[in-house]
């Protein structure tokens, strides 16, 4: 190392001040922490209001709660028994469905996926109306008894706040994505009182593999800690659940064998969950009725299930606490594992607005409680570890789930055995789900940073800049069209399999304006071509099959030289011109292909 080189942020013993951009982002993390906590409080207030109106006043039913008041962990059934439950769940689904599909269809479902999709595919942009609409629709869905949780709505509300701020502050996409993660972490921290776990959740939930958005961790951590502190001013800083101190000691070494069993069972449940959840989603999409009525249908089905199992209503936090306290019987615990899977899938997959985190915790709690009751062992450790293991497996967020659950329950002494079970569940579920269509509860996850469309767009933009500047080596070889590898290897224009990269532009008169990428590809058949990306108004647009084309689009195309010749012949009347590295139109000969 050079003697005069700066080391660890200092020069000759003096600290280097942070860059202006970093200072601004740190300040914005604090700001979004405050706003995220206030938004979470507003959501909790709206949720309490709707729950009191729909369930308590109309249906005469009160579920166990975590209020700490005497009798709070017992349910109360009114004079009409449970017969009005299907009515309120259906009405709640009807109102929620009308709001969502009338004003912002992207607000349907569990919310976190929408935030993850925004990060990867829209530069973090979320429409302004989405956050307030998600707040109202989710409060109605969950408050009327919909079997869903607070995590998804809060994540999208917080992310939406971050996106709104980025819009009015005129932030570029890179910073907008960071602000979205900050808002998500802040809202979740306030709801779940888990400042460290939610900071990790925001950067881990983006990817299905073991990858993180590590560069955002400092900002999400600050936002979540500030939100946690602000939220405490409205109530308490205590953990969400109460964990009996007497059961928090180090487990007997033989108990670890049962935690392995619990982890394996959690892996099985974590494999089943996404398949049921998205299987029902696909089934609802095929129903020949307007989308706005589908959440009402899902609500009706949940209400009918609740006639026999009222424990499935809403988030079920009170029932989780009952399981921790060992107050639930063996048979009911096992049945609720599977009934809750169906119930929350009916609520959210039908288009209702609610999260999947709380239902997954509920399922893990019942699974752990069942195993503890079967073995005649203390319930609390198995319930807490079951919660972490099932969510880790089903959502592919092992680090976040481990920290969040221990923070939410205050069971820090269980970190080692919980980590053991979480690791077992995560690894087994990864193997079991390899060949399945749906591997995770978060469909918008990508495998890793290199697979993120957000990163892909950045790499394409750099590649196009190099093309414009004619700064390209001629003979570097790559194995496939992976732009990360392409850039690492020096950006080759001659690819394997006798394929080549070329750039084409759609002029104003092109008849392809308004047509899809798939229609463009069909024109070249039987020769195969691949539209890698679209450069539009200085931004990179992902070339999905259904992406519409616009005049002025510049297309990155990969195909063999023969295929490119056929392609140009087909497009001779389409007004497509091939350009060279300097960006000027080239002739129609084979030399016009950049090589």
Q: CA torsion sign, 344 to 349 to 351 to 357?
A: positive
One digit per residue, the tens of pLDDT, for the chain of length 595 reads 333 333 334 434 444 454 588 889 999 999 999 999 999 999 999 999 999 999 999 999 998 888 767 677 888 888 888 999 999 999 999 999 999 999 988 788 778 888 998 898 888 889 888 889 999 999 999 999 999 988 888 999 999 999 999 999 998 888 999 999 999 999 999 999 999 999 999 999 999 888 888 889 999 999 999 999 999 898 778 898 998 877 666 667 788 899 999 999 999 999 999 999 999 999 999 999 999 999 999 999 999 999 999 999 988 999 999 999 999 999 999 999 999 999 999 999 999 988 899 999 999 999 999 999 999 999 999 999 999 999 999 999 999 999 999 999 988 888 989 999 999 999 999 999 988 999 999 988 888 887 777 776 666 665 555 555 544 443 333 333 344 344 333 333 555 556 666 667 777 777 777 788 887 777 777 777 777 777 777 677 777 777 888 887 777 777 776 776 666 665 555 544 443 333 333 333 333 323 2
What's the token pair of residue 112? Answer: 């976190």
Give the three-class secondary structure for 388.
helix
Q: Rounded to the nearest 5°, which phi and psi values hold at 249?
A: -75, 175
- Which of 258, 466, 208, 276 is CA-nearest to residue 368? 258
Distance CA 252, CA 204 (A): 32
pLDDT at res. 121: 82
In sequence order, what DSSP letters do the residues of 236-291 get, joined into one string? --S-SS---GGG-SPPPTTHHHHHHHHHHHHHHHHHHHHHHHHHHHHHHHHSSS-G
Domain ranges of the chain: 29-235+254-447, 452-592
**pLDDT at residue 464, as a whole number:** 55
Q: What is the DSSP letter of 61?
A: E
pLDDT at 250: 65
- ∠161-50-441 over CA atoms, to 5°? 55
CA distance 10 to 399: 32
Nearest Cα neighbor of 244 from 323, 360, 337, 190 is: 323
What is the total residue count of the chain?
595
The helix (run of H) or strand (run of E) holding residue 503 is strand 499-505
- Residue 415 neighbours by CB under 8 Å, 6+ apart: 402, 406
C-alpha dist (Å) from residue 199 to 181, 187, 193, 317, 452:
9, 10, 11, 22, 20
Taking Cα atoms as reference points, which of 574, 573, 569 lies closest to residue 593? 569
Per-residue pLDDT, 19: 59
Structure confidence at residue 187 (pLDDT): 93
Helix (H, G, I), strand (E, B) or coil at 494: strand
Predicted local distance difference test score (pLDDT) of residue 526: 72
Exposure on the CB side of residue 461, measured as CA atoms within 13 A: 13
Q: Which of 168, 196, 170, 202 is nearest to 183 (CA)?
A: 202
Cβ pair 445, 210 in contact under 8 A: no
Element (H, E) at 425: helix 415-432
CATH class of 452-592: alpha beta
> Encoding tokens for residue 156?
């999208």
Distance CA 83, CA 334 (A): 25
Place of tokens 């259904």: 546
CATH superfamily of 29-235+254-447: Clc chloride channel (1.10.3080.10)
| pLDDT computed for residue 514 by the predictor | 77
Cβ contact 388:421 at 8 Å: yes
In whole angstroms, give the CA distance from residue 114 to residue 341: 21
Residue corresponding to tokens 């706003």: 35
| Backbone φ and ψ of 233, nearest 5° | -65, -20
Residue 509 DSSP label = T
- Model pLDDT, residue 444: 86
**CA gyration radius for the chain?**
26
Q: What residues contact 594, with CB distance under 8 A and at least 6 apart? A: 467, 493, 500, 501, 502, 503, 578, 579, 580, 581
């Amino acid at each position: 190392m050079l003697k005069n080189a700066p080391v660890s942020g200092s020069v000759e013993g003096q600290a280097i001040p942070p860059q202006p951009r970093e200072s601004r982002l740190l300040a914005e993390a604090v700001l979004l922490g405050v706003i995220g906590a206030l938004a979470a409080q507003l959501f909790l207030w709206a949720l309490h209001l709707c729950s009191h109106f729909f369930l308590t006043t109309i249906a005469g039913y009160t579920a166990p709660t975590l209020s700490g008041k005497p009798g709070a962990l017992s349910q109360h059934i009114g004079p009409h028994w449970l017969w009005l439950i299907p009515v309120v769940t259906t009405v709640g689904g009807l109102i929620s469905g009308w709001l969502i599909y009338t004003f912002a269809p992207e607000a349907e479902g569990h919310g976190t996926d929408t935030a993850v999709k925004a990060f990867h595919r829209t530069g973090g942009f979320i429409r302004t109306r989405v956050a307030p609409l998600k707040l109202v629709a989710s409060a109605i869905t969950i408050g009327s008894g919909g079997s869903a949780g607070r995590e998804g709505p809060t994540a999208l509300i917080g992310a939406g706040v971050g996106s709104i701020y980025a819009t009015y502050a005129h932030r570029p996409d890179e910073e907008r994505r960071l602000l979205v993660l900050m808002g998500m972490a802040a809202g979740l921290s306030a709801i779940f009182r888990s400042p460290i776990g939610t900071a990790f959740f925001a950067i881990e939930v983006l990817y299905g593999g073991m990858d993180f958005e590590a560069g955002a961790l400092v900002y999400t951590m600050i936002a979540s800690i500030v939100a946690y502190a602000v939220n405490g001013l409205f109530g308490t800083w205590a953990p969400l659940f109460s964990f009996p101190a007497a059961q928090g000691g180090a487990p007997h070494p033989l108990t670890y064998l049962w935690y392995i069993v619990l982890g394996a069972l959690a892996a099985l449940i974590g494999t089943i969950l996404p398949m049921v959840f998205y299987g029902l989603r696909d089934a609802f999409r095929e129903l020949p009725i307007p989308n706005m009525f589908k959440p009402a249908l899902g609500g009706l089905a949940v209400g009918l299930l609740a006639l026999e199992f009222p424990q499935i209503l809403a988030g079920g936090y009170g029932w989780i606490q009952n399981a921790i306290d060992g107050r639930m019987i063996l048979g009911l615990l096992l049945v609720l594992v599977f009934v809750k899977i169906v119930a929350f899938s009916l609520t959210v997959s039908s288009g209702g607005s609610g999260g999947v985190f709380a239902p997954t915790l509920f399922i893990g709690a019942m699974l752990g409680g069942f195993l503890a009751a079967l073995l005649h062992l203390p319930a609390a450790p198995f319930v807490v570890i079951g919660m972490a293991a099932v969510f880790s497996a089903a959502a592919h967020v092992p680090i976040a789930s481990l920290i969040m659950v221990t923070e939410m329950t205050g069971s820090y002494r269980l970190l080692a055995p919980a980590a053991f079970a979480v690791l077992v569940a995560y690894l087994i579920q990864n193997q079991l789900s390899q060949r399945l269509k749906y591997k995770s509860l978060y469909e918008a996850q990508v495998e890793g940073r290199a697979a993120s469309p957000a990163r892909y767009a950045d790499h394409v933009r750099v590649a196009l800049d190099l093309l414009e500047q004619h700064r390209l080596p001629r003979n570097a070889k790559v194995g496939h069209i992976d732009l990360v590898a392409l850039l690492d290897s020096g950006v080759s224009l001659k690819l394997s399999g006798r394929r080549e990269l070329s750039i084409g532009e759609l002029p104003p008169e092109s008849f392809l304006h308004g047509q899809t990428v798939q229609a463009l590809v069909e024109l070249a058949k039987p020769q195969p071509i691949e539209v890698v990306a679209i450069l539009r108004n200085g931004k990179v647009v992902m070339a999905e099959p259904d992406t519409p084309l616009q005049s002025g689009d510049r297309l990155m195309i990969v195909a063999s030289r023969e295929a490119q010749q056929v392609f140009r012949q087909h497009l001779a009347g389409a007004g497509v011109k091939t350009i060279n590295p300097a960006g000027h139109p080239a002739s129609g000969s084979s030399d016009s292909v950049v090589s």
